[in-house]
């Protein structure tokens, strides 16, 4: 769907290690020195969904197909990136192409792993990253303001956009993220976002990379980062990249047992994938047949024809109606046939808004 989550952070905080675990393969080289990741590593990651397995128990298909998310491991950022320091320009252009930012922030001590800034301080690290993103936004907004000033002389409608842009520039100049601006719901702001694509308007998640002890009880670093996330209305997910790497290759039962021993219900990476899916405004519906039980990715609020289009454009063009069974009804009835007998199958038209977990079959004519 062209939507991606960008993993960012200072050099050597565990981005590539986290990425390796996310993709279940050593696709990103992880090493104890800055700028190990130069070109952005990209991967398509399956979205864990227990509902698929429950459907499979009933349908007994030949294969399962999960929804997926795109993750991009972006080169480490340093101070001065907005002025081209380090790999700054490349970093900023890569992150501009993502929809959600996942900041991996180091929240553990280890004298054997060097830190680019010489000490462990999550809030300083976040301030460096977000400060560079703010500076980049200020630069592009200032250029846009100069053009708006010229337009406003001949176009009165540009005047209100200019006023909001100047107000936003001041807000950014005070070290604030665009996403926290109090006029993000205005037409003028949305117009600016469409034209400028502010880096600090994107959804942000913080990945607090801690040690094993930190998974059980928040250390001082995690507490500080959690407070910062709450102030900015952002999601914080705690993980231990080292543990996530150890989970690679384990069978499902073994992985669950390993997590149980650590006192953790769900791995940090599963939380990242689920929360990322949500932050991108995505959801899943299912098709269930003997050949395949499959999860299809759509935007929240999609109509039935739009949902059909992700299977094939012809399904949308020739859409007649959709046969729909809610997931809970499908499971409770024990399959499609019994759901029909119980009157749980509905015929829905073009205006139907698909619900997360719907089992659907489309009727179309092209």
Picking from 80, 140, 131, the residue whose alpha carbon sits closest to that of residue 103 is: 131
Q: How confident is the model at residue 241 (pLDDT cuts 50, 70, 90)?
A: confident
- N-terminal to C-terminal alpha carbon distance within the chain: 24
The answer to whether residue 127 scores a pLDDT higher than 70 is yes
pLDDT of residue 54: 96
Q: Which class in CATH covers the domain with range 4-47+68-120+202-279? A: alpha beta
Q: How confident is the model at residue 72 (pLDDT cuts 50, 70, 90)?
A: confident
Q: Is the pTM of this model over 0.75?
A: yes
Residues 114, 35 contacting (CB under 8 angstroms): no
Residues forming CATH 3.40.50.300 domain(s) in the chain? 4-47+68-120+202-279
The answer to whether residue 78 scores a pLDDT higher than 60 is no
What is the full DSSP assignment across 303-361?
BHHHHHHTT-HHHHHTEEEEEEE-HHHHHHHTSHHHHHHTT--EEE-TTPBPPTT-EEE
The distance of Cα 113 from the centroid of its chain, to the nearest Å, equals: 28
Read off the pLDDT of residues 314-324 as tens digits, 9 standing for 90 and up: 999 999 999 99
By mean pLDDT, which of 88-97, 202-211, 283-292 is the weakest? 88-97
The answer to whether residue 40 scores a pLDDT higher than 70 is no
**Alpha-carbon dihedral sign for residues 11, 13, 15, 20:** positive
The answer to whether residue 246 scores a pLDDT higher than 90 is no
Mean of per-residue pLDDT scores for the chain:
86
- What are the residues facing 7 on neighbouring strands? 73, 102
What is the helix (H) or strand (E) element at residue 43, kind and residue range?
A: strand 41-46
Residues forming CATH 3.10.20.30 domain(s) in the chain? 301-364
Residues in the chain: 366
Read off the pLDDT of residues 204-240 as tens digits, 9 standing for 90 and up: 999 999 988 888 889 999 999 999 999 888 999 999 9
Torsion of CA 155, 160, 165, 166, to 10 degrees: 100
Give backbone dihedrals phi and psi of 104, rounded to 5 degrees, phi first: -85, 120
Alpha helices in 24-121 (DSSP H): 50-59, 88-96
Q: How confident is the model at residue 107 (pLDDT cuts 50, 70, 90)?
A: very high
pLDDT of residue 92: 76
Alpha helices in the chain (DSSP H): 15-23, 50-59, 88-96, 122-154, 157-173, 187-196, 212-216, 220-231, 241-247, 252-262, 268-279, 304-309, 313-317, 327-333, 336-341
- Residue 62 gets which letter from DSSP? S
pLDDT of residue 345: 97
The answer to whether residue 24 scores a pLDDT higher than 70 is no
Beta strands 203-209 and 346-348, pairing class: unpaired
Q: Does domain 301-364 have CATH number 3.10.20.30?
A: yes
pLDDT of residue 29: 41
Read off the pLDDT of residues 174-210 as tens digits, 9 standing for 90 and up: 999 999 999 999 999 998 988 888 999 999 999 999 9
Most confident of 34-43, 138-147, 210-219, 239-248: 138-147
Residues 232, 204 contacting (CB under 8 angstroms): yes
């Amino acid at each position: 769907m062209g939507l991606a989550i960008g993993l960012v952070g200072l050099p050597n905080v565990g981005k590539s290690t986290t990425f390796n675990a996310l993709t279940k393969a050593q696709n990103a080289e992880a090493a104890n020195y800055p700028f190990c990741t130069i070109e952005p590593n990209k991967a398509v990651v399956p979205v864990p969904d227990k509902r698929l397995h429950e459907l499979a128990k009933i349908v007994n298909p030949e294969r399962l197909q999960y929804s997926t998310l795109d993750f991009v491991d972006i080169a480490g950022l340093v101070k001065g990136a907005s002025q081209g320091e380090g790999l700054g320009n490349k970093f900023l252009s890569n992150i501009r192409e993502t929809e959600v930012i996942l900041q991996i922030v180091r929240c553990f001590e280890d004298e054997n792993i060097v830190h680019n800034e010489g000490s462990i301080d999550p809030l300083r690290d976040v301030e460096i990253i977000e400060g560079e993103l703010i500076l980049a936004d200020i630069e592009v907004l200032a250029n846009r303001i100069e053009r708006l000033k010229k337009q406003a002389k001949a176009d009165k409608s540009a005047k209100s956009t200019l006023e909001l842009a100047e107000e936003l520039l001041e807000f950014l100049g005070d070290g604030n993220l665009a996403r926290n601006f109090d006029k993000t719901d205005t037409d003028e702001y949305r117009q600016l976002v469409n034209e400028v694509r502010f880096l600090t308007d994107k959804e942000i998640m913080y990945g607090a990379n801690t040690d094993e002890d930190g998974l059980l009880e928040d250390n001082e670093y995690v507490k500080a980062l959690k407070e910062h996330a709450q102030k900015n209305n952002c999601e914080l997910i705690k993980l231990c990249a080292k543990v996530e790497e150890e989970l690679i290759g384990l069978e499902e039962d073994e992985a669950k047992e390993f997590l149980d021993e650590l006192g953790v219900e769900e791995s940090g990476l599963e939380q990242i994938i689920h929360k990322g899916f949500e932050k991108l405004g995505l959801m899943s519906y299912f098709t269930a047949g003997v050949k395949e039980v499959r999860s299809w990715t759509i935007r929240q609020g999609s109509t039935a024809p739009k949902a059909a289009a992700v299977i094939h454009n012809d399904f949308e063009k020739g859409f007649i109606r959709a046969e729909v069974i809610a997931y809970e009804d499908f499971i409770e009835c024990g399959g499609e046939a019994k759901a029909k007998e119980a009157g749980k199958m509905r015929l829905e038209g073009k205006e139907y808004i698909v619900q997360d977990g719907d089992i659907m079959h489309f009727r179309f004519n092209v």
